[in-house]
């Protein structure tokens, strides 16, 4: 089945929309855009849509990845455009591409992320943390208050040449984390 990878950002008030609500938002946008999304089989069919990694409530995401399984191939650029038209403000569709067949699901590939943290005005750090609780631990260790501005700049995956942006294609190099 063809899979569409969608690169998007979620900023401003949209950072207050949680993971499950974001999923519903995407599903409804897909319906309105009329994308040929694939549904699961069974009693309660649902769209096959997912995200590379949930974003904590209140954290911005600049390069997030959604993965949509389609019934049939469609031109990624057109799909991105029609989806972009259906999104609320502050949720920008930046790009889309088809996943290569050999590529694992992005949720399986994403293992770390680069964050920008601003505990105080004028004081800003960039850190790379693992996705398995790395941010929480960091905030705790450095006693950073909960409502601090945090932005997830980039989701990362592991390759032979180290951590690289998740959304990029690595031809012929399918090393998994």
DSSP character string of 57-98: TT-EEEEEEEEEEBSS---HHHHHHHHHHTSPTTEEEEEEEE
Give the integer Cα–Cα distance in Å for 154 and 7.
11
Per-residue contact flags (x/-) with another protein for residues 54 to 73, judged by CB under 8 A? ---xx---------------
Any residues with CB less than 8 A from the CB of 20 and at least 6 apart, and which?
none
Per-residue contact flags (x/-) with another protein for residues 90 to 119, judged by CB under 8 A? x-----------------------------
Per-residue contact flags (x/-) with another protein for residues 17 to 46, judged by CB under 8 A? xx-xx--xx-xxxxxx------x---xxx-
Q: Which residue has the tokens 């590939």?
A: 109
Instruction: Compute the least distance from the CB of residue 56 to another protein, in Å.
Output: 11
When the beta carbons of 7 and 14 are compared against another protein, the nearer one is 14
When the beta carbons of 45 and 133 are compared against another protein, the nearer one is 45
Residues 162, 76, 116, 56, Cα dihedral to 10°? -100
Instruction: Compute the least distance from the CB of residue 67 to another protein, in Å.
Output: 19
β-partners of residue 48 are none
| Residues engaged in binding another protein (CB under 8 A) | 13-14, 16-18, 20-21, 24-25, 27-32, 39, 43-45, 47, 57-58, 86, 88-90, 146-147, 149
């Amino acid at each position: 089945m063809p899979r569409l990878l969608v690169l998007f950002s979620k900023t401003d008030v949209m950072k207050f929309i949680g993971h499950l609500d974001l999923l519903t938002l995407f599903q409804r946008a897909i319906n309105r855009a009329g994308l040929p999304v694939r549904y699961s089989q069974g009693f309660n069919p649902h769209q096959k849509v997912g995200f590379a990694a949930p974003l904590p409530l209140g954290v911005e995401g600049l390069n997030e990845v959604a993965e949509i399984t389609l019934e049939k191939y469609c031109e990624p650029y057109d799909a991105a455009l029609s989806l972009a038209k259906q999104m609320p403000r502050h949720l920008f569709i930046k790009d889309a591409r088809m996943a290569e067949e050999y590529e694992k699901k992005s949720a399986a590939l994403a293992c770390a992320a680069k964050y920008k943290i601003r505990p105080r005005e004028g004081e800003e750090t960039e850190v790379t943390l693992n996705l398995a609780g790395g941010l929480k631990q960091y905030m705790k260790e450095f006693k950073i208050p909960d409502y601090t501005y945090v932005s997830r700049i980039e989701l990362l995956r592991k390759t032979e040449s180290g951590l690289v942006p998740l959304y990029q294609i690595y031809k012929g190099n399918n090393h998994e984390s």
